[in-house]
């Protein structure tokens, strides 16, 4: 696929950052800059920035062009899978936060969702353990508040006062 001016500029920005961090020496930096501005395809840009941390420029895998030096050949790389936040953990936190506004009606769902989320997080490796714990704590605080309120109400009714 042919590279646009914006693609070339992104590759040049990666090269500038690599030079500023000391990852490229001056002659290599100048050589890669020249090649970046002359690049016609995404594959050529990919080869220039593949060994730098901000690279590679996202693109499909292409076969290398004849005549391109092997020193700029990128190693095949596997991008890590993104880690998502567990939706039950988010639900537990939201229920816990809404608990004061609902007079504690969301306390039990917060505790249930929080425990469910922690089990799913242990099994799948998702993020959100802190959200789940916060939902559990807020839920139990709401349940404890209601229990205390009922205990005081029963004691006042029993003492007649």
pLDDT tens-place string over residues 1-52: 888 888 899 889 888 888 888 888 899 999 999 999 998 888 888 888 888 8
Provide the 10 A C-beta neighbour count for residue 135.
Answer: 33
- Report residue 57's pLDDT band, with 50, 70 and 90 as the boundaries: very low
- Report residue 60's pLDDT band, with 50, 70 and 90 as the boundaries: very low
Is the pTM higher than 0.75?
A: no
pLDDT value at residue 81 = 63
């Amino acid at each position: 696929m042919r590279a646009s001016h914006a693609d070339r500029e992104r590759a040049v920005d990666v090269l500038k950052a690599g030079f500023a961090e000391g990852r490229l020496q001056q002659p290599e930096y100048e050589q890669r800059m020249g090649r970046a501005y002359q690049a016609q395809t995404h594959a050529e840009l990919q080869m220039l920035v593949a060994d730098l941390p901000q690279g590679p420029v996202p693109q499909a895998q292409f076969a290398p062009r004849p005549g391109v030096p092997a020193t700029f050949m990128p190693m095949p790389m596997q991008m890590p899978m993104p880690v998502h936040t567990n939706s039950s953990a988010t639900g537990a936190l939201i229920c816990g936060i809404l608990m004061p506004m609902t007079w504690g009606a969301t306390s039990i769902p917060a505790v249930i969702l929080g425990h469910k989320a922690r089990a799913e997080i242990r099994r799948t490796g998702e993020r959100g353990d802190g959200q789940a714990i916060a939902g559990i704590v807020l839920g139990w605080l709401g349940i404890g508040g209601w229990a205390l309120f009922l205990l005081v109400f029963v004691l006042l009714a029993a003492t007649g006062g």
